[in-house]
Amino acid sequence: MPTDIEIAQAATLLPIASLARDRLGIPDEALEAHGRFKAKLAIDFVQRLIAPGGGTDGRLVLVTAISPTPAGEGKTTTTIGLVDGLNRIERRAIAVLREPSLGPVFGLKGGAAGAGRAQVVPLEEINLHFNGDFSAIGLAHNLLAAMIDNHVQHGNALDLDLRRISWRRVSELSDRALRRVAIGLGGAGNGFPREDGFDIVAASEVMAIVCLADSLEDLKRRLGEIVIGQTRDRRLVRAHELRAHGAMTALLRDAIKPNLVQTLEGNPALVHGGPFANIAHGCNSLIATRTALRLAEFAVTEAGFGADLGAEKFVDIKCRAGGLRPAAAVIVASLRGLKYQGGIDADAAGRPDAAALARGVGNLERHLENVRKRLGIASVVCLNRFPDDTDAEIAALRRHLVGQGVAIVESSHWAHGGAGAEALAREVSRLADGGGRVPKFVYEAQTPLSKKIEEVARRIYRAADVRFSEEAQAQLAQLEAEGFGTLPICIAKTPYSFTTDPSNRGAPRGHVLDVRALRVSAGAGFVVVLCGDVLTMPGLPTVPAAEGIDVDAGGRITGLS
């Protein structure tokens, strides 16, 4: 089979204006084209569409997965394949995805435009820069950082304590050397020396704000509420006190507009926002999701990494903030992934191994129970079929899940596109036709922050206890005293395990969740809880994907996936 990029480059794409007009009823004046095959939707059109009375909402379908493994699961690919499958059975559907980050594109994970016959295109443009949203978010974030140091240089009227400036800088690329840096060196003309550091753009609070704001006005208000640090008498200082939020909004004026592209089969996709789920809230923008719900019968979205991170945050942060009512969830699993969870190496996961499958199926059962019972969303299991899967192993998986009361649907969308996902589409349609409902939140808004963390740890991760560092305990007390106790929490931890140890596979229970620090994202409206050794600035692997990416003399990109 050709590579992903070869399949994408061979595709015949519809002009984006035709797709918007003929498939979605979007008038030409509401489309801001970026070339022939991608566009942004005008914000005034979006605001009218999503306003109360602007139309009838379709059904919201969440795609989540087992814990991620090197062997592969295929969550984004399944989202795209399902949309193609729904359209094949004449149910109007639109994909709502996150934008790829250049960190994974050039690092270990690769791009985020799907794979095989289930992709969104143009692949190269989506994976590389796209319509400039990540760049705008990084610039807005770093503008605030520059204005903080400029304020200190020119008199520090707010009396900022240089030891307690909490606003770090960001980079769009993974670069471990930037995790902790010293700035302001070289004399008085270069500012005051202090310790600083970089996060990746996907972890920026500005990214979260863009993904949770419902209008330009709300965007500006949220940016103004960003906490940048403390004064020497420990008063919190916000971005609006530097008068930075207006200029930041100007940089983000276009970034808040949803991006429209298409699948390989010519079906619409909104790709907007890109927070990671292990260190951020892992969902595409609320404004894109609401737009999709007004444009189609089905809006199919995804939440990053496994359901313990992505689906929990989708419910407790995004659904809570946006009043969303999911109608169904798809939990993606692969035999390879389950066998890896059963303890074998990734390079052996393609070979039959009944014992490893029996051990690993507990991971799927845990996620399934969490989504159905703890989060309250009707679910179907999608077995993303790989070419080397055997009928005997698939039958064994079905036997393991007997009595769960959930459908297990094989899907071959990677190899066959929408045609391979028709059975999945029919089951999702059946589930979702019952209508959306308010999901179950893991914790109530008024629950203290420490108890919220314990609720997620015990109910979703099956931890026996939570251990707070001295720093975290002090931060909890201060955040509660400052009035942030009612905010949702966004747990940042390894995505590879229910624990904080990435090597602890399967469905462990009885462990301890180690909380080392907390950060308030007042503009986004949640508190980030840093657990274990999780990093907000990834590094590149031993052999980064960048080594295999190239451009020929005619400008054709190769090696991108």
Handedness of CA 99, 104, 106, 112 (dihedral sign): negative
State the CB neighbour count (10 A cutoff) for residue 168. 22
Kindly name the residue from 75, 336, 505, 516 that is annotated as catalytic. 75
| Domain assignment of residue 50, yes or no | no
If asked whether residues 13 and 114 sit together in one domain, one would say yes
Tokens 């008498």 identify what position?
233
| Domain assignment of residue 35, yes or no | no
| Domain assignment of residue 237, yes or no | yes
Kindly name the residue from 23, 38, 40, 98 that is annotated as catalytic. 98
If asked whether residues 286 and 428 sit together in one domain, one would say yes
Work out the widest C-alpha separation in the chain, in whole angstroms.
73
Which domain-ending residue is among 379, 397, 432?
Answer: 432
CATH number at residue 143: 3.30.1510.10
Helix ranges restricted to H, 272-316: 286-295, 310-313
Give me the pLDDT at residue 511, please: 98
| Domain assignment of residue 553, yes or no | no
β-pair partners for 39: 33, 260
Handedness of CA 114, 118, 120, 126 (dihedral sign): positive
Q: Does the bond joining 122 to the residue before it have cis omega, within 30 degrees of 0?
A: yes
**305 is an active site residue:** yes
If asked whether residues 389 and 510 sit together in one domain, one would say no
Task: Please tell me the total count of domains within the chain.
Answer: 3
**291 is an active site residue:** no
The pTM of this model reads 0.96
Give me the pLDDT at residue 71, please: 73
First to last CA, the chain: 14
Q: At what angle do helices 354-369 and 391-400 cross, to 10 degrees?
A: 50
Give me the pLDDT at residue 1, please: 79
| Domain assignment of residue 49, yes or no | no
Residues 505-526 have pLDDT tens digits of: 999 999 999 999 999 999 999 9
Q: DSSP 3-state assignment of 375?
A: coil
For 283, residues 6+ apart whose C-beta sits below 8 A from its C-beta are: 98, 211, 273, 275, 277, 301, 303, 304, 310, 313, 314, 317, 318
Query: Looking at the chain, how many residues does it have?
Result: 561
If asked whether residues 265 and 343 sit together in one domain, one would say yes
CATH number at residue 517: 3.10.410.10
- Report the candidate in 444, 119, 109 with the shortest Cα–Cα distance to residue 276: 109
**421 is an active site residue:** no
Which parts of the chain sit beneath pLDDT 70?
A: none
Give me the pLDDT at residue 280, please: 94
CATH number at residue 324: 3.40.50.300
**386 is an active site residue:** yes
Give me the pLDDT at residue 402, please: 87
Q: Which domain holds residue 499?
A: 453-531
Kindly name the residue from 65, 277, 492, 507 that is annotated as catalytic. 277
If asked whether residues 354 and 416 sit together in one domain, one would say yes
Question: In terms of DSSP bridges, do strands 326-333 and 379-384 run parallel, antiparallel, or are they unpaired?
Answer: parallel
The answer to whether the CB of 318 falls within 8 A of the CB of 52 is no
If asked whether residues 318 and 340 sit together in one domain, one would say yes
Kindly name the residue from 64, 77, 263, 291 that is annotated as catalytic. 77
If asked whether residues 329 and 422 sit together in one domain, one would say yes
| Domain assignment of residue 32, yes or no | no
Kindly name the residue from 92, 109, 221, 325 that is annotated as catalytic. 109
If asked whether residues 240 and 142 sit together in one domain, one would say yes
The answer to whether the CB of 549 falls within 8 A of the CB of 518 is no
If asked whether residues 415 and 268 sit together in one domain, one would say yes
| Domain assignment of residue 397, yes or no | yes
Phi, psi (rounded to 5 degrees) for 54: -80, -5
If asked whether residues 325 and 473 sit together in one domain, one would say no
Helix ranges restricted to H, 169-285: 205-212, 216-224, 245-251
- Distances, alpha carbon 276 to alpha carbons 286, 303, 322, 477, 490, in Å: 15, 9, 19, 27, 11
Kindly name the residue from 106, 305, 314, 526 that is annotated as catalytic. 305
Cα 235–chain centre separation: 33
If asked whether residues 178 and 232 sit together in one domain, one would say yes
The C-alpha atoms of residue 476 and residue 481 are separated, in whole angstroms, by: 9
The C-alpha atoms of residue 168 and residue 519 are separated, in whole angstroms, by: 11
If asked whether residues 393 and 267 sit together in one domain, one would say yes
The C-alpha atoms of residue 466 and residue 455 are separated, in whole angstroms, by: 10
Kindly name the residue from 198, 386, 441, 484 that is annotated as catalytic. 386
Give me the pLDDT at residue 534, please: 95
Give me the pLDDT at residue 25, please: 96
